[in-house]
Amino acid sequence: MEENQKLIDPNLVLNFENIIKSIGEEIDREGLQKTPSRAAKAMEYLTQGYHKDPVEILKSAMFKESYSEMVIVRDIELYSLCEHHMLPFFGKVHVAYIPNGYIVGLSKIPRLVDVFARRLQVQERLTTEILNCLNETIKPHGAAVVIEARHMCMMMRGVQKQNSLTTTSAFTGVFKTFETRNELLQLLNNKER
Ligand SMILES: [Zn+2]
């Protein structure tokens, strides 16, 4: 696809070469010869969200519809990079909204998540960016985003807590009322994990 056709930024390759040297490795070692360009390509892939327009993605599949019950897309796989350590955090995203005249194609919701996840992020901001984009673009009666994630910067370094799960949530409109929010959280809790 388009990412593969793009040339890798030579500056990024050079920077990875410098990182490898700086940590005390031999840049000429056989196994490392292509590593700077591979790492640069991977980093470009993992941060491709900067070059994508989430509003355009939603608008490409927005349909007039009178359905006005809760729509939930749950267990969307999440892979992102924390902006403090540039280490992965990963988990599940659940997105819900109550339509107000418009729905979006269901496959666009995971794509929306990816646009914001494939940037340097903090889980809190990722949660509100997904929410605000959905809310402002399709203007539902309300929207909700819940993210459960594990952070490699906590698991591999620092406090080395392997099992801590960070949950963040954000709500707009009718989801700010106790009943609607509770209905959503109950539906999310009822799933078999
Ligand atoms: Zn971190």
Describe the crossing of helices 10-22 and 35-46 by its angle, rounded to 10 degrees: 120
Least confident of 47-51, 156-160, 180-184: 156-160
Q: Check pLDDT > 80 for residue 168.
A: yes
- What is residue 92's three-state secondary structure? strand
- Ion ligand 1: protein residues whose beta carbon lies under 5 Å: 82, 84-85, 153
Q: Check pLDDT > 90 for residue 161.
A: no
* Cα 92 to middle of ligand 1, angstroms: 17
Report pTM. 0.92
> What band does 191 get if pLDDT is binned at 50, 70 and 90?
low
pLDDT tens-digit profile of 46-74? 999 999 999 999 999 999 999 999 999 99
Q: Across-strand partners of 172? A: 143
**What CA–CA distance (Å, rounded) separates 90 from 169?**
15
Phi, then psi, of 99 in degrees rounded to 5: -60, 150
Containing H/E element for 6? none
pLDDT tens-digit profile of 129-141? 999 999 999 999 9
Q: For residue 73, what are its two tokens?
A: 């897309």
Q: Check pLDDT > 60 for residue 187.
A: yes
> What band does 158 get if pLDDT is binned at 50, 70 and 90?
confident
* Cα 162 to middle of ligand 1, angstroms: 14
* Cα 85 to middle of ligand 1, angstroms: 4
Which DSSP state fits 1?
Answer: -
* Cα 53 to middle of ligand 1, angstroms: 25
Higher pLDDT, 38 or 192: 38
Average pLDDT score, the chain:
94
pLDDT tens-digit profile of 31-42? 999 999 999 999
Collect all residues with Cβ–Cβ distance below 8 Å to 118 and sequence separation of at least 6.
45, 46, 47, 48, 49, 50, 52, 80
**Stated length of the chain:** 193
* Cα 99 to middle of ligand 1, angstroms: 35
Name the residues annotated as catalytic.
Answer: 82-85, 123, 151, 153
> What band does 193 get if pLDDT is binned at 50, 70 and 90?
low
pLDDT score, position 162: 78
AA letter at 73: V
* Cα 74 to middle of ligand 1, angstroms: 25
Please state the three-class secondary structure of 31-90 as a single string. Answer: HHCCHHHHHHHHHHHHCHHHHCCHHHHHHCCEEECCCCCCEEEEEEEEEEEECCCCCEEE
Task: Specify whether the CB–CB gap between 130 and 95 falls below 8 A.
Answer: yes
**What CA–CA distance (Å, rounded) separates 123 from 125?**
6
